[in-house]
Structure formats: C-alpha cells, structure tokens
Amino acid sequence: MTLLRPLALLILAAPTALARPLADPVSAGPPVAPAATLGHDDRSDLVILKDGKEVECRVILEADDYILTKRGSKKKQYARDEIAEIHSVERSLAQLFERYDALPSRGPAELAELALFCEQNELPSEARNLWIQVLTIDPENEQAWNELGGVYTKRRGWRLKVRGRFYTVDQLRERVSDWKHAMEIPTAHFLLKTDIEPERALNIALNLERAYMTYYEVVGEALALQVFDEVPEVHVFKDPKDYPTPRFQGDQAWFSRGENTVFVNGAGPSVANDAVFKLTHALVLNSFRRTIGGNGSIAPWTERALAEAFSYALRIEDGVASWEFGRPIEEYFRFQAADDKPLGMKRLITAGYGAFNNGTDAQRYNAECHTLMFFLLHAEDGKYRQGVADYMRSSFKGQSAPTHFEKALGVKIKDLEPQWTAFVEATAAR
C-alpha cells in the first residue's frame, strides 16, 4: 500500500445530512472492578533484534522500512532488516480484533479465551473488560470472578470489593446506573466513564480502540503519526440532564481540548456518529501533539474533513463498529456545483472553527471542505496527496495560511482553484 493511499480512502464516505457542527478546539466515580493501569510506560513493548538483543521500549511508529522506539526521553530508529520480532500494544490489539471478529459466538467460554489472550499480550484493560463481559452473561462464572478479585461466601455468593464495600453483580449494575457512581472503564488508549448499561458500555470500550486502530491505519500511516499514551477520556451520559452544556447549542457530543475529554449525550438520536465525529478531534489533537509537539491544531477545514469522513463511514452491526470508506459525498458536490456564490479556496482555507457552525454560509463551508480535500487527494492521480500531508503537519505548527498551503502543494491558489471547480462540476454531473 502506498503511503498516502489510506488517507485518500478516508475522504470517501457518503453522508445522510449536509451539515454537522465542527468541534471547537477549545469527578471520577468508582470502577466496577479493580482498575487497570492507564496508559503505557516506555517498557510496554518488546523489539527482538536479529542479533538476539531484546529491547524493552514503546514502539511509537512503524514505517515501511523502519520503526521508531521510545525509552524515557530517548528515541531510537531501527531498520526493518535489523528486526526479528516486534511485540507491541497496537499489534496485540490488531490480533485481538481479528480473534474477536472470527468468534463463532460470544459466549462466556469464547470471551474468557480472549481475556486470557489479552492477559498474555500486554492488554490488561481489555482483559479486565472481557472478564466483566463474561459476568454480564454468566453472573456465577467462577473463573471471571477469580480473575477480577471476587470474594465468595456461601451466604452471599460472589461479590466484588469496591471502595471498601462488597457488591454483587446486580448491586453493581444498580449502583453504576447513576452518573454519581458511573463506571470507569479503562482501555488501551482511553478512559470511558458512563452510566449506561454495562453491556453497551463494554461494547463502546472495544469500539473506542477500533476507532483508534482505524485512525492510525488511514491517517497515521500517511502522516507518519506517532502513537500517544496521554489517555483521552470519553464520558457517555445516559440521562440528558447530566450531559454538560455544549458550546454550540444542539450538539449531541463535543470535545474539550483543555480537558482532553469527549462528552456524549448517550440518548441522542445519532449518538454513535456524533461521538465518532468528536472522537476524531481527540485523535487528531493527541496524535499530532505527540508527533510534532506543542498544543496546536490543524487547519479547521482539514479537521472538519477528517471528522466527517470518520463519522459517516461508521457502521455498527451487532455492537461492533467498522468503517467503510468508499464514495465521494455526492450531495456536497451537487450543492457546490449549483451554488452561485461559492466561498472560494482562500476563504475556506482561512476560515475559523465557528464558520462551520454558525451563519448563513455554514452549509457552504461544510460542503466545500469535503470537495476540496477530495479533489486534492484524487485529482491528477493523487498529485497533491503528499502536499496535503505536509500542509496538515505544518498547520499544526501554526503555518496554515494560504502561502503555506501553496508552498506545501507546490502550486498557486489562482492556478489550482479552476482545477478544483472543474473537478467539482464533473463529479456532480456523474
């Protein structure tokens, strides 16, 4: 696979609506079981070299011909031909999902086998969550109780100690149904806090990691983004009255950069798509911040294009999330082709986050950010793909002006804009 092809595939999802608000880059309850360690230290992964040397580290980037590792404050690169084996959190996650998706059924025995796999492959949070999932199906499963540190007595059966008190499964289920005692569910890269039913919460926990893996496959590879261990939080609220007021009225999910937290109204009509839309902003911030440094943001129109593509490509089947990137958003192309007052490239490139949420031109901004990104990734056999990647990286460092855009793509806007217009009209006419 060529380096930038996954990024090109990303911008190919069909929507159900023409506009969706863009996120502005602007008390912990007890867990239902002993909490797993959050994040990963710099010895979580293992690289075995061909000379027999074993390197405990964090594998933060895997490129075609080399890998980049981190140990403390030091980073080291190894050529592929030096390496015999790589054992990493991300590789273990990929194997987990392959095994999960191949299960003939999701009974206690099958989930227990997956939990043991996680324990043996540096995925303690996923192991814990799978053992809890076993108990939601089989509340008397002795193996799961033992793995979670449960205590058994003849009079009261199996119970779990939480904050100094012992609870049965039913008592825990009732307790965590209130936001004041919401579950805290760690995953390999996130912390999920929620008061929705445990079965649904555990599916969300796995799907957060599927989103992470998909993001790095289609965006991270193209931009050489390093993995992050900062642990963003995702808060999903069962009751809308507990859902914090978003900056933009009507948003059913929003991302706080300062808190590194995605807030989701779990009762919203399109909760999964809304959550993924905002989760993409969290993934962008944390991955770019780890790779480039600082606390910047990529150009709003590019962030919008990524978030929308992820949101509309989302598919949920039997509780399992997947992403299907396929066709251009035809509605956007038709809208722009018929628009007698298009924004133009410079206005779009220099637009702030608010332009996509407010005002009479919001629909134009939402349509044109997609068509421009699609054009840049696909016009002239992907001629501008590398330029798009370079521009996104430079924009995170504050270099997002039209002149930076022209420098990254190697072409003047006055020469590129007519090509974009022709491309939009041709695509809309298909």
The set of residues, in sequence order, having a beta carbon less than 8 Å from that of 94 and lying 6+ positions away, is 213
Q: How far is CA 190 from CA 91, 196, 284, 344, 426, in A?
A: 17, 17, 14, 38, 42
Long-range contacts of 76-82 (CB under 8 A, 24+ apart): 78/47, 78/49, 81/50, 82/49, 82/50
- Scanning the structure block, which residue is given the tokens 């936001």? 179
Segments in the chain below pLDDT 70: 1-39, 326
Q: Side chain identity at 429, as an amino acid letter?
A: A
The set of residues, in sequence order, having a beta carbon less than 8 Å from that of 297 and lying 6+ positions away, is 25, 257, 284, 285, 303, 395, 396
Residue 54 forms beta bridges with which residues? 48
Element (H, E) at 418: helix 413-428
pLDDT confidence of residue 381: 86
pTM for the model: 0.89
pLDDT confidence of residue 56: 96
pLDDT confidence of residue 164: 82
pLDDT confidence of residue 29: 35
Can you tell me the distance from the alpha carbon of 219 to that of 68, in angstroms, rounded to the nearest whole number?
17
- CA-wise closest residue to 33 among 96, 108, 115: 115
pLDDT confidence of residue 39: 66
Do strands 74-79 and 66-71 pair parallel, antiparallel, or not at all (unpaired)?
Answer: antiparallel
What is the rounded average pLDDT for all residues in the chain? 89
Q: Name the token pair of 46.
A: 């293992």
